[in-house]
Structure 1
Amino acid sequence: MNAPALTELPVVVVGAGPAGLAAAAHLVDQGLEPLVLEAGPVAGAAVREWAHVKLFSTWGEVVDPTAEKLLAPTGWTRPDPATYPSGGDWAAQYLEPLADVLGERVRFGATVTGVSRTGRDRIVDADRETQPFVVHVEYADGREERIFARAVIDASGTWTAPSPAGASGLPALGEKAAADRVTYQVPDLKDPAVRARHAGKRTAVIGSGASAFTALAYLADLAKSEDGQDTKAVWILRRGISGSTFGGGTADQLPARGALGLAAKAAVDDGYADAVTGFRTEAIEREDSGRVVLVAEDGRRLEPVDEVIVLTGFRPDLSFLSEVRLNLDERLQAPVDLAPLIDPNQHSCGTVYPHGHRELSHPEQGVYLVGMKSYGRAPTFLAMTGYEQVRSVAAAIAGDIESADRVELTLPETGVCGGAGLFDTPEADQDAGGCCAPAPALVQIGAVPAAEPDEQRQAGGCCGS
């Protein structure tokens, strides 16, 4: 079967989340035809899985201006831009209406399992750039299809590939066997079944970023409630604790983000969570009682816990892109020109140098990773970053290079300045203003009793995982 001419083909967008739907809106604005392929049954399927979590960005920061322009003729009105939506609000009040406006340009239950050049695997050079992309799709009803495309924008995110508990980047020994005790997202404690798993129980939270802060705050609130007495959190932190461990606090230009860190600190100070530092999980061992014990690489064993919440970040699924030529940073799995701007080993203060299609391009011209996926394993992505990315990428695909290069992006400061510090650098060698205190040590803060060390760590913070 001969492929149509490139100019007759749609731009395939993988994922109907915030970045993917914004990409479609910008393509329409550029006079191009998008085709959005979403594996889930609805728009924002991944966002809906954390529907109970409130964003630390306001409505004014999570609605793409071009998408809003597309929505306006339908009578859609943006919610109060100064208020904070939950994940459920974001999906129901913005993403779903946007998908409805795009109509048949969005297909649900469509999983992309491969992307290549027509008649060319990744080895073949001859006439490569003139060939359309071919996108292999498997539908929920069992059908398969190959779709030709002039370009491919991968906005599939990283939600389906959470990082494991093991400090080596591999699952801890016994992690899979303890799957009934281990979860990888912030618990919805308004759900009776989830609440029962944690009420009056001892829960380990592994992670050091916004998600872990949120989980600790939720567990502290549960401990204060009538049905949650004796609830205890154990916060696992691979590094030590410094003044910036809890984020920027009142110095954060996103106040709700700063408040998350302050809430986590209060959970520790008030004795609802203990913190164990310098703890790199090697194994999760099950006791006869069904409870589990976390074991560190250095042999330390913690007191048994009932549940483990692993919030150590996410990683991109690159499996379906194996036949296209990508240029990814060896550490972050982000585009090589973007990686230095977001590297948690270097990056600080929450600012990202303005970037667009040039930083997101690859040797395979016409393929772009955008949104959360563009950050690979880096934890500091914001929705407004993705919106600016797709604006630039859509302009580049349309041939409007002047507009594509006119990238303007200023992200709010986290209030946490200085370098992140090297993973194992001795404390004496660390910059005093760095994100992470290096020396592994048990740290007691405020009312935390010395007899019960706790573990802490979270993805999404300055130091990542």
Structure 2
Amino acid sequence: MKGAGMNVVPVVVVGAGPVGLAAAAELVERGLEPLVLERDERAGAAVAQWHHVRLFSRWSELVAPAARRLLEAAGWEQPRADAYPTGAEWVESYLAPLARVLGDRIRFGAEVVGLARRGRDRVVDAGRESEPLTVHVRTGDGRQERITARGVIDASGTWTSPNPLGGEGLPAIGEAEAADRIAYRVPDLTDPATAVRYAGRHVVVAGSGHSALTALVAFAGLAERDPSTRITWLLRRGVVGAVFGGGEADQLPARGALGLRAKAAVEAGHIHVVTGFRTESVTRDENDLLVLLSSEGRQVEAVDEVVVLAGFRPDLSWLSEVRLALDATLQAPVGLAPLIDPNVHSCGTVYPHGVKELAHPEPNVFLAGMKSYGRAPTFLALTGYEQVRSIAAALAGDRESAERVELVLPETGVCGGSGVFDEPAANRNSGCCGTPAGVQDLTLSVQGQRS
């Protein structure tokens, strides 16, 4: 890596996923030296774990502008812009080539376990702003080291921290003991060994987001092939409401089509829907089948397998010694939270945001990508790419560019806060698609995505 070899203090990027690699490309283009730390042994390791899932974004929406320029300079050709790749294709045709171009600016097998100011813990004010950041790393062989950084972009995502089945945000009683029957990822039912696990069984799918819809469509196909397969869909919300999305009104056609396919599977009788079910405990019956008990005393019985797709949450444990300003509800940056709060805003019309909304009291420390959303859902790659463009501009001292937002996101065609979807329609905030409170004064120049 050029930076390490020439004693240049790098900007450390945590995670070699889509947003982390985009951040590195932006930094290179700005003349800053990135050092990407990835605990796995390959780029896009999390994406590779859902290799079988087809994205609802096109290739044109999945390649970061700076990354494209870097790749094209090396002779890369983008796949057909209007095609929809699988996770595996995203890795093989984009993330892996980008990692090769970035070369030894990426260190694999390097897990970040802590972040601090040099010689200062979280409490100390004196001399804090004059000291660099220190990134504490554990390598694959168990050694620990400390890397000095001029800035840190945490793009480590949330993949390793799925939300539990329990309806209180904590694992249900007995959930850990039933771990052999519970999965927290979309199963690959095209894999014969995986399909055998679920075929002819009573499968419960818990969740209401796009991952849950993807799983339901796949399980409906399995039920068509093997009619003895039973699918129960657990929803915490009291009504199905707009969970299927905007359909033909969605500006991402594949996302709208996914909801329509899931709705058709329910209407065809392949999926039994249970609403208003917040799981409190998991037990086993005399036949070693699972019994799910809700907080209201309702039961779902004789369950063979459970697939929990209830979203993810950020791992903030290694950030305990830096000063973050996080929203009390979402665990997202306080400037971003009003724009993405699913309790009041789920239109898909996420307002453009960048370094201003992502800043923390700790200078030059940023959460980007999925992790910046905390517990909020519906993150798009386009959002992360614009975040890191803005952050890189700020770190390079180009404040004008950093504060000029250059992104228009596709709308879902849905309006309504998910946090009140189980209330009567008359009680809902019908104005959620207006500008959220507190952001009316944002001065933003929406110019469209850079090419």
Structure 1 and Structure 2 fold alike (TM over 0.5)? yes
Is 1:384 the equivalent of 2:382? yes
| Aligned residue number for residue 333 of structure 1 | 331
CA contact under 8 A between 1:19 and 1:383: conserved in structure 2? yes
For the structure 1 residues 253 and 185, does the alpha-carbon distance in structure 2 shift closer, same or farther, using more than 3 Å as the test? same
Contact persistence 2:200–2:228 (CA under 8 A): yes
Q: Secondary structure at the match of 2:36?
A: strand
C-alpha displacement at 1:242, in angstroms? 4.6
Please, which of 410, 413, 416 is the counterpart of residue 411 of structure 2?
A: 413
**1:256 counterpart residue number:** 254
The amino acid across from 2:195 in the alignment is R
- Corresponding residue for residue 294 of structure 1: 292
Counterpart amino acid of 1:333? Q
Equivalent position of 1:355 in the other structure: 353
Residue-by-residue CA offset, 1:418-444 (whole Å, 9 max, x unaligned) = 344537645653357989xxxxxxxxx
Task: Say which is worse superposed, 372-381 or 408-417, in terms of deviation.
Answer: 408-417
Alignment of 1:161-172 (within 5 A): 161-172=161-172
Higher RCO structure (Cα 8 Å, ≥6 apart): 1
Match of 2:293, SS? strand
Q: Which amino acid aligns with 1:167?
A: G
Q: TM-score, normalised by structure 1?
A: 0.90
Does structure 1 conserve the Cα–Cα contact (< 8 Å) formed by 2:421 and 2:428? Answer: no
Residue in structure 2 matched with residue 203 of structure 1 by the alignment: 203
Q: Which residue of 2 aligns with 1:13?
A: 13
Indicate if the aligned counterparts of 2:135 and 2:147 stay in contact, CA closer than 8 A: yes
Distance 1:434 1:30, change over 3 A: closer
**C-alpha distance in structure 2 between counterparts of 1:321 and 1:406, whole Å:** 28
Residue number in structure 2 paired with 1:307: 305
Local SS of the residue matching 1:235:
strand
Q: Give the corresponding residue for 2:44.
A: 44
Q: Aligned in 2, Cα 1:283/1:398: closer, same or farther, shift over 3 Å? A: same
What one-letter code is carried by the residue in structure 2 that aligns with 1:17? G
Equivalent in the alignment of 2:128:
128
Say if 1:192 and 1:421 are closer, same or farther in 2 by CA, change over 3 A: closer
Contact 1:291 1:306 in 2 (8 A): yes
**Per-residue CA shift, 1:150-198, capped at 9, x if unaligned?**
0000000000000001110010111000000000010101122211111
Change (3 A) 1:334 1:125: same
Query: Does the aligned pair in 2 maintain the 1:421–1:431 contact within 8 Å?
Result: no
1:185-200 map, 5 Å: 185-200=185-200
Question: How big is each residue's C-alpha offset from its partner over 1:307-348, in whole Å with a ceiling of 9 and x where there is no partner?
Answer: 000000000000000000000000100000000000001113
The DSSP-based 3-state class of the residue aligned with 2:205 is strand
**Counterpart residue number, 1:102:** 102
Match of 2:65 in 1: 65
Aligned-partner residue type, residue 199 of structure 1: A
Indicate if the aligned counterparts of 2:239 and 2:421 stay in contact, CA closer than 8 A. no
Residue 245 of structure 1, CA deviation: 2.3
Q: Is the contact between residue 353 and residue 409 of structure 1 (CA under 8 Å) also seen in structure 2?
A: no
8 A contact 2:240–2:275 mirrored in 1:
no
Deviations along 1:213-266, one digit per CA (max 9) or x if unpaired, are: 0000000111122xx231121000111335522111111000111111111111
Q: Are the counterparts in 2 of residues 248 and 414 from structure 1 also a CA contact under 8 Å? A: yes
Partner Cα separation in structure 2 for residue 294 and residue 425 of structure 1? 24
Query: TM-score, structure 2 length as denominator?
Result: 0.92
Change (3 A) 1:421 1:113: closer
Residue correspondence of structure 1 range 315-464 to structure 2 within 5 A: 315-420=313-418, 422=420, 425=423, 429-430=427-428
The number of residue pairs the alignment matches comes to 429
Query: Structure 1: which amino acid aligns with 2:223?
Result: A
Q: Matches of 1:65 and 1:284 in 2, distance apart?
A: 47
| Kept after mapping to 2: 8 A contact 1:420/1:434 | no
- Aligned in 2, Cα 1:40/1:360: closer, same or farther, shift over 3 Å? same
Instruction: Say if 2:239 and 2:422, in contact at 8 Å, map to a contact too.
Output: no
Residues of 2 paired with 1:400 and 1:306: CA distance?
Answer: 56
- 8 Å Cα contact 1:21/1:99 also seen in 2: yes
How far did residue 8 of structure 1 move? 3.2
* Distance change (3 Å), C-alpha of 1:340 and 1:175: same
CA contact (8 A) 1:20 1:156 kept: yes
For residues 2-32 of structure 1, give each alpha carbon's deviation from its aligned partner in whole angstroms, at most 9, with x where no partner exists: xx9xx93000000000000000000000000
Query: 1:419–1:433: 8 Å Cα contact kept in structure 2?
Result: no
Q: 1:276 corresponds to which residue?
A: 274
Give the match's secondary structure for 2:145.
strand
Q: Residues 434 and 396 of structure 1: is their aligned pair in 2 closer, same or farther, counting only changes over 3 Å?
A: closer
Q: Distance in 2 between matches of 1:68 and 1:201?
A: 45
In structure 2, what residue type is equivalent to 1:343?
D
Distance 2:423 2:239 in 1: 14
Equivalent AA in structure 2 for residue 14 of structure 1: V
Between the aligned partners of 1:339 and 1:165, the Cα distance in structure 2 is 24
- Residue 437 of structure 2 is matched in structure 1 by none
Q: Is the 8 A contact 2:347 2:432 kept in 1?
A: no
